[in-house]
Chain A
């Protein structure tokens, strides 16, 4: 029982990270209709920035907030310069551009910070707490879970109760009508990218202490986040976050209880993606898109 609980908490904690990444994917998808394949690499790049700041002597929390700000601005520039010119292009061109972006960011991180694996400091104190008799959990795991909660709550608050959030939702919902009521849609799209990169950076700094930091670490979280986003519905922020948590718990359970499960985690994410897309393409909470043919 305690083993089960331990796995559940670990699963929820990594699921929280996938939930944040999934939320970042949804943010870009809702406003522009593109699935950002480079999301994982962007988060890794942000994490490297945080690592450099920590190496320079900046305390970890200010370093994280600074990184979020830098990622926010960087992503807005990226959207404006690289992605925007292709906004109206067809699927193949869009996918190719995202692959190009993925490769570019990946190798830039490799060029600046090299390919050796680096330890990343946890934002929380080391050690673990005893929740129950013989159930001790690392403080980082709990802290990361709490951070997820905070990010999700802040995002919800932002979209629900601020004028800017309302404008963003309007722009995502209907470009034309939003323009008519005076919303700068073009700026909102760039802002969506910025926010996605900002919260993606949080996911990066939370996962790096667990998996260690290297340029290739963004792949596995990306596929789990993608599975989570599709499961919950890629048009629904709430659904995507829930999907991310479910995928995290599923991953922990399969790794713990199924023989060879830990080796086939990615394969299970792939199966999940395939089955969701085939059985219910809109996901659990996504809006069902009907099309006139």
Chain B
């Protein structure tokens, strides 16, 4: 693509100087956060490690879906299907071929991208609500396929598969929970880095242009179809890797772990966390979908769906950029007042 030769991200030199001077601080912040995540291995224990691993694996999936829905404006209600494919991919790798668990997300990602290509190729011709309808169908159909006797030899059918996971080698001094957590953090950092690079680079510009005005984007020389396909493939990759990691963290897969509502949960994570917030939004959204069921299910079975529903509608009404948007708003208020003093 000749486009790479042009400086499409050209900005006013003054502004560039300003952002440049701000950059080392931001990098320091990211580095510090990454170190804190790794250091948490020694601090958190047992269940907390499991919870953190779940949140981070859902956050990976949400990062991908956020690129698709937030930056590219394509609505998917069915990415739970790819999460499930990733999880089953990892589970079968471990169950059948004794692949080390830390490598399974790579295989799962490749398998997921294949499935995503098969489904995305026709589905990407659909626009707006119609893509949402087709993926809604995908979400409903997925659990019945997983439950099927046809594949039960591989998938374990209704009973599912228990995964025997070996911890990291002894010299690392990590126990099972810790080694899973470290692997999850590693993948999370890779995805966080890649996502930020993508959305801030030319791909991000192409995605936003395609979302806001496909005709103008085409006139500017962007390949709209390619931009859409890239966003879809990246979201599928992230969801299948997230699924693989969550299967490893739970050490068990069964059709009931990937119900129709999983797709809705991922959608909720993106919308509640905040569209177009590449990192903070998915993290907040993932924490939301992991913590809310934990808190509400004891009080009221199915109550988490009510909380999801209420949050979605309220957020759409008052702050379409979700929790991350609210956070930014609060921060802007605080800095504004402190500057005035």
Contact = CB atoms under 8 A, between A and B. Distances in A.
Contact of B144 (A86, A108, A263): A263
Interface stretch (A153-161, A200-208, A273-281): A273-281
Given A82-B313, A103-B305, A91 B148 contact: no
Contacts of A167: none
Interface stretch (B87-95, B127-135, B332-340): B127-135
Contacts, number: 139
A267 interface: yes
A168 to B, nearest CB: 22
- Which secondary structure dominates chain A's binding surface? helix
A276 to B, nearest CB: 10
Contact of B133 (A89, A115, A226): A226
Contacts of A99: 77, 264, 267-268, 309, 312
B188 interface: no
Contacts of B304: 107
Interface residues of B, number: 48
A35 B144 contact: no
Contacts of B130: 277, 281
B53 to A, nearest CB: 26
A264 B145 contact: yes
Interface stretch (B33-41, B196-204, B295-303): B295-303
A115 B59 CA distance: 30
B310 interface: yes
Range, interface on chain A: 35 or more
Interface of A: 34-35, 37, 82, 85-86, 89, 91-97, 99-104, 106-108, 110-111, 114-115, 215, 219-220, 222-223, 226-227, 230, 260, 263-267, 269-270, 273-274, 277-278, 281, 293
Interface of B: 69, 73, 75, 77, 122-123, 125-126, 128-130, 132-134, 136-138, 140-141, 144-145, 147-150, 215, 260, 264, 267-268, 271, 275, 300-306, 308-313, 316-317, 320
The 4 closest A-B pairs by CB, nearest first: A103-B309, A110-B302, A104-B309, A100-B312
Given A273-B137, A274-B123, A278-B122, 9 more contacts: A99-B264, A100-B308, A104-B306, A104-B309, A223-B136, A226-B133, A264-B144, A267-B141, A270-B137
